[in-house]
Amino acid sequence: MRKFIALFCCVGVGACTKVIDLKVHNSPAVYVIEGNVTDQPGPYTVKVSKTVGFYAGNQYPGVPGAMVTIADDAGHKDRLTDNGDGTYSTVSLQGVTGQTYTLQVVIGKDTFAGVSSMPARVNLDSVVIESVLNGGKAVLVAVPKFVNPRGQGGDYYYFDQTIDGYLDRSFYYWTDQFSAGLTNNFSLERASNDSTLHMGDTVRVEMQCLDEPMYNYWVGVDQSASESEQANPGNPVTNLTGGALGYFSAHTSQVKGARVRQQ
């Protein structure tokens, strides 16, 4: 039997969740914080919940009553509105590229914090459907097309793919450290037996430009999910302090779509 946590990774451009394994077992309950700031218009949301006993089901109860703030390095500080269900919404904060954001969550005597910097925006030019080989078999996949900036390096990306309205639960992360100045050919090939897209499918792709700690977090999430059948899979390394699970991400967000047509 396994425990699951839903990660809200599309705040600001539409709600979507991914379900991953985290190693909570019957260890003491811990807080889970999931927060996002994007370069799209707010409000932005922070979700605060708490793990439960291993045999108590997979629903993590929201935690209302916390004091949640997000500050930027330009001197603006926003105290988030408590929605009463464990979610907290910004009031006036607007995400801007190049800014560093600090999240603080105070629950009773416990204080948790996270810092994330929003990198420069790399333009997502289009999403195209291409045929690639998978085990000698041709499959159709979505490919986000963009040019990696030359001379900057260290750029990190995360992609969410929705197919016919259903979120693909694969984890797509990528870094351009070896391909600066070139057009991206990283494809969103699903981790499933039927990995191909089909005629008439509508694909929606969100591209996020991340800082390195968030990139490392998604790598850890993917590894944790792939190890879920092992006896003691590890939790991903969080960028939060204070002992909470989860993440705080300041990232850019762009969405483009494509429809699968005759190749």
Q: What is the pLDDT of residue 238?
A: 92
Do 183 and 82 reside in the same domain of the chain? no
Measured CA to CA, the distance from residue 36 to residue 4 in angstroms comes to 20
153, 239: one domain: no
CA within 13 Å, CB half, 92: 5
Residue 238 sits in the same domain as residue 111:
yes
Question: How far apart (Å, rounded) are the C-alpha atoms in residues 125 and 145?
Answer: 6
**Terminal CA-to-CA distance of the chain, rounded, Å?**
43
**What pLDDT sits at residue 148?**
81
Whether residue 258 is contained in a domain is answered as no
Q: How many domains does the chain have?
A: 2
- Rounded to an integer, the average pLDDT of 209-233 is 79
**What integer pLDDT is reported at residue 172 of this predicted model?**
94
pTM of the model: 0.83
On whether residue 259 sits in a domain, the answer given is no
Same domain, 203 and 220: no
* Residue 89 β-bridge partners: 45, 81
108 & 222 share domain: yes
Q: Is pLDDT of 23 > 80?
A: no
Same domain, 130 and 232: no
**Residues 167 and 239 both lie in one domain:** no
If pLDDT is split at 50, 70 and 90, which confidence band does 11 have?
A: very low
Which structure tokens are listed for 213?
A: 């700690």
* Shared domain check, 238 and 146: no
pLDDT of residue 16: 47
Note whether residue 179 is domain-resident: yes
Query: Do residues 225 and 98 both lie within one domain?
Result: yes
Span 104-120, pLDDT tens digits: 999 999 999 999 999 99
Q: What percent of the chain has pLDDT over 70?
A: 79
Claim to verify: residue 166 and residue 131 sit in the same structural domain: yes
Overall average pLDDT of the 75-88 stretch: 97
Averaged pLDDT, 36-45: 97
In this predicted structure, the answer to whether residue 177 has a pLDDT above a threshold of 60 is yes
**Which token pair is 145?**
């097309």
In this structure, are 104 and 192 located in the same domain? no
Q: Is residue 142 part of a domain?
A: yes
Residue 178 has pLDDT above 80, yes or no: no
Residue 153's pLDDT band, with cuts at 50, 70 and 90, is low
User: What digits encode the pLDDT tens for the residues 86-142?
Assistant: 999 999 999 999 999 999 999 999 999 999 999 999 999 999 999 988 777 889 999
Domain coverage including residue 182: 126-208
Do residues 169 and 185 both lie within one domain? yes
Reported confidence tier of residue 72, pLDDT bands at 50, 70, 90: very high
Report whether pLDDT(257) > 80. yes
The residue-averaged pLDDT of 48-72 equals 82
> Is residue 263 one of the residues assigned to a domain?
no
Neighbours of 129 (CB within 10 A): 17
pLDDT of residue 58: 55
What are residue 126's DSSP bridge partners?
145
Q: Do the beta carbons of residue 188 and residue 172 sit within 8 Å?
A: yes
